[in-house]
Amino acid sequence: MNKPILPFYMTYPLPIYAQEEDTMMRDLEYLQQMYPTEAKKYQKRIANVLDKIDYDGSLIYDEYPCKWQMYRLVENILAILRKEAQRNKEIISEEKWVWIEDMVQILLCHEIYRRRHNHHKTIKPVEVFGKYL
């Protein structure tokens, strides 16, 4: 009887936790679609800022991100939101800006968490002798 020989990696089942994590991320993305309008607006700005600093070795992938750097990131995002509010001639009270700052900080931490868990699943090219495989 001729049985085909399988490579060792094909004999191991797929890890179940990866499938569970995919399900969790789909649920999370679905629930993010239900955010209130303002929260969606802040989420888009946060995603745009994080896209610029999303690289290997970035602070968002540090095991313990620095609180000061996170605070500076929130301040940068708030500056962008303030400029947009001025450009659109929106009048926002200082009390509301305190609330917005808290919301931005929460959404920022959430987005960083999401990116950190999606980051390890990306397949990176392997460099061998100066060429990528």
pLDDT in tens, the chain (133 residues): 677 776 666 566 655 556 677 788 888 888 888 999 999 999 999 999 999 999 888 999 999 999 999 999 999 999 999 999 999 999 999 999 999 999 999 999 999 988 888 766 554 544 555 555 5
Distance CA(21)–CA(23), nearest Å, equals 5
Residue 68, φ and ψ in degrees, nearest 5: -65, -45
How big is the chain, counted in residues? 133
Domain boundaries, the chain: 59-116
Close Cβ partners of 41 (under 8 Å, ≥ 6 residues apart): none
DSSP characters over 38-88: HHHHHHHHHHHHHHHT-STT-GGGSSS--HHHHHHHHHHHHHHHHHHHHHT
Q: Please state, in angstroms and rounded to a whole number, the distance separating the CA atoms of residues 87 and 77.
A: 15
Centre a 10 Å sphere on the Cβ of residue 81 and count the other Cβ atoms it contains.
20
